[in-house]
Amino acid sequence: MLLKPPAIFIMGPTASGKTDLAVALRAHLPVEIISVDSAQIYKTMDIGSAKADPSVLEKHPHALIDIRDPSEAYNVGDFVKDARRQMKDIRARGNIPLLVGGTMMYFKLLFSGLSDLPGGDPVIRDNLLRRATQHGWESLYEELMRLDPETARKLHPNHSQRIQRALEVIEITGKPLSVLQAKGVHKGVQHDYRVESLALISGNRQLLHQRIEERFRQMMARGFLGEVRALYERDDLSADLPSLRTAGYRQIWQHLDGEFDIGEAVNRAIIASRQLAKKQLTWLRKWPDANQILIDDGEQVLSCEKICKESLKILSNHRIL
């Protein structure tokens, strides 16, 4: 294991301080940061995706930020390919890849491996989106249940992006997604790197909820409504795009569509962000050999300095330092 080059994963729920920790570790380790965030890949989606300030990014560059326009598709297969290339380049420079973010599916398939699946087809995807608009995602879910019940049973009828992808694969290949996934998997980075995973965990869920609410209200104060309005006014964007189904963007877009007032939109966005955090924590509990790090002591949030110190201790014990 020690012959493999090291890599570090920093994972955690939204608003847990992942970016702050990654930046802090750069003062102690020869690391370069790779973002693992399905919203931060998009240009002009800055406030709502919680990108670091431009001054921070200038000093501490993050790979895989601002690499797509919100109108463009980007899937987990694209991410795995891009992340592996970035990791290889970082190792060639003699540094350690430090991957940080909260998109747990990206982490999982990068770590464990990716099935040999076809790329996306924009014509098929647009047709599926039109059908969903006309008949609802539940009708497409019922279709998936007929064509690929094994995949459908793993999904909820509201998992629109994953339902769309599963039906897209069937139409392209003529085979169920579950069959293709069982055929073989490209090996994950666990085979090439000695990965140490740092999982930021809250000991007091209420404190995390408060932190999520405070951060979102700060986003609104910084001009998040204007950011979404600029996207809303573009002719080439719609609420069905993956970029705009992100928590926060979706609810503010619905407000601009006249579905509810801004106060209700903010409340719905906070609830959606809390639900996202719950899903992320569920992923983290199942993550193999994750080093869990508490971000609070049950009564108050710990300082980044303390969290960084604990992280360095873990990395030292695992001979990363």
Q: Which pTM was predicted?
A: 0.83
| Cα-based angle 84, 90, 92 (whole degrees, multiple of 5) | 105
The model's pLDDT over 13-62, given as tens digits with 9 standing for 90+, comes to 999 999 999 999 999 999 999 999 999 999 999 999 999 999 999 999 99
Cα–Cα distances in angstroms (integers) from residue 114 to residues 94, 123, 301, in the given order: 27, 24, 36
Q: Are 311 and 25 in contact (CB under 8 A)?
A: yes
CA 291, distance to chain mean position in Å, is 19
For 6, phi then psi, to 5°, come to -80, 155
- For residue 287, what are the CA distances in angstroms to 211, 292, 321? 24, 10, 23
What pLDDT shows up at residue 40? Answer: 98
- How many percent of the chain have pLDDT more than 70? 99
Lookup: tokens for 225: 């409504």
Asked whether 109 and 188 are in contact (CB, 8 A), the reply is yes
Listing DSSP states for 71-126 in one string gives: TS---HHHHHHHHHHHHHHHHHTT-EEEEEES-HHHHHHHHHEEE--PPP-HHHHH
pLDDT above 70 (res 277): yes
The dihedral through the CA atoms of 295, 100, 42, 27 has a sign that is: positive
Model pLDDT for residues 189-228, shown as the tens digit of each residue: 999 999 999 999 998 999 999 999 999 999 999 999 999 9
Residue 185 clears pLDDT 70, i.e. is over it: no
Residues 286, 274 contacting (CB under 8 angstroms): no
Polymer length in residues for the chain: 321
